[in-house]
């Protein structure tokens, strides 16, 4: 019986209720009960325990998981807490099942974001994303110099660290493409700001091998080939370090 016990956040993730990160927030907010008592961070549970979130029982999902690609418009916030933000991604997409975004795009950014109800894969993608590519098209407020391109690619000091070296390509006088292998908070905007450039528009066009091919505000299911390659990439990077 003992070997059936798993951490509560992992359990909620594996049954498809939410990601581990979201589960930790629910526990911290006192919204999770286990066998009639308030849940604690790090506690372990078994499939036989009665687990409530917001006084509603959670159960393992028996149907197949959903994997969606969305072209997020500007103004939509990547949060699952519908009580906090009106223009949130969950109400915007209005999907018939509980799903949640993998990672985030800030409110003023647009483009590709993935959503799922497979909590376990969320953790794997966020961990593996430390080494997987994400591509963006960015427009700034003044002409782009070669010095700007070189410095952006070489690493910028933000948030107490130096950004990892990345690929940067000039598209036109004020637009460039950048491919990141890390996901610091508002990373591109902070990098540009450090070099005295202001971002006017920012669109994510690719996550790993999955490319943006949708009109703004529309979503689709991942193809069988996309999902198969995704799972293969996650399998090969399963032991990737969390450190930058």
- Residue ranges of domains in the chain, CATH in brackets: 2-57 (3.10.290.10), 67-122+213-236 (3.30.70.580), 134-207 (3.30.70.1560)
DSSP states along 26-83: HHHTT-EEETTEE--TT-EE-TTS-EEETTEE-----SPP-EEEEEEPTT-B--S-TT
The three-point CA angle 204-86-72 to 5° equals: 15
Instruction: Specify the pTM.
Output: 0.74
pLDDT of residue 85: 62
pLDDT for the residue 80: 79
Q: 133, 136, 155: which is closest to 208 by C-alpha?
A: 133
The pLDDT tens digits of the residues spanning 122-143 come to 877 777 555 789 999 999 999 9
Average confidence score pLDDT of the chain: 88
Question: pLDDT of 82-106, one tens digit each?
Answer: 776 678 999 999 998 889 899 889 9
Q: How far apart are CA 178 and CA 142, in angstroms?
A: 17
Q: Give the pLDDT of residue 108.
A: 96
Query: Which pLDDT score is estimated for 97?
Result: 87
Q: What's the pLDDT score for residue 244?
A: 31
Please give the pLDDT value at position 240. 38
Residue 237 has a pLDDT of 57
R_g (Cα) of the chain, nearest Å:
20
Which residue would you say has higher pLDDT here, 180 or 13?
Answer: 180
Give the pLDDT confidence score for residue 14 in this predicted structure. 80
Q: Rounded mean pLDDT of 49-58?
A: 90
What mean pLDDT comes out for the span 230-236? Answer: 80
Measured distance CA(219)–CA(222) in Å, rounded: 9
161, pLDDT greater than 80: yes
- Enumerate residues 6+ apart whose C-beta is below 8 A from 6: 14, 44, 45, 46
Q: Which residues are catalytic?
A: 106
- Which long-range contacts does 87-96 make (Cβ < 8 Å, 24+ apart)? 89/113, 89/115, 92/217, 93/68, 93/219, 95/66, 95/68
The model's pLDDT over 167-211, given as tens digits with 9 standing for 90+, comes to: 999 999 999 999 999 889 999 999 999 999 999 999 999 999 999
Q: Contact at 8 Å (CB) between 199 and 58?
A: no
Check the CA dihedral 26-74-91-89 and report its sign: negative
Q: Break the chain down into helix, strand, coil percent, rounded to 5.
A: 25, 25, 45
| Residue with token string 């960015």 | 138
């Amino acid at each position: 019986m003992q070997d059936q016990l798993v951490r509560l956040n992992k359990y909620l993730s594996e049954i498809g209720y939410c990601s581990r990160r979201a589960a930790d927030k629910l526990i911290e907010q006192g919204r999770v009960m286990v066998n009639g008592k308030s849940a604690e961070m790090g506690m372990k549970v078994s499939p036989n325990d009665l687990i409530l979130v917001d006084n509603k029982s959670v159960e393992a999902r028996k149907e197949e998981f959903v994997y969606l690609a969305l072209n997020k418009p500007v103004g939509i916030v990547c949060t699952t807490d519908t009580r906090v933000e009106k223009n949130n991604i969950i109400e915007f997409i209005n999907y018939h099942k509980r799903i949640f975004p993998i990672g985030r795009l800030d409110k003023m950014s647009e483009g590709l974001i993935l959503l799922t109800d497979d909590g376990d894969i969320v953790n794997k993608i966020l961990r593996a994303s430390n080494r997987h590519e994400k591509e963006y098209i960015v427009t700034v407020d003044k002409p782009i110099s070669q010095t700007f391109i070189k410095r952006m690619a070489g690493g910028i000091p933000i948030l107490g660290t130096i950004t990892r070296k990345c690929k940067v390509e000039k598209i036109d006088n004020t637009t460039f493409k950048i491919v990141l292998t890390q996901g610091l908070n508002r990373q591109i905007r902070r990098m540009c700001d450090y070099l005295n450039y202001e971002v006017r528009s920012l669109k994510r066009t690719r996550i790993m091998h999955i490319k943006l091919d949708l009109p703004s505000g529309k979503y689709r299911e991942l193809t069988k080939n996309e999902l198969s390659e995704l799972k293969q990439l996650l399998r090969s990077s399963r032991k990737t370090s969390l450190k930058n």
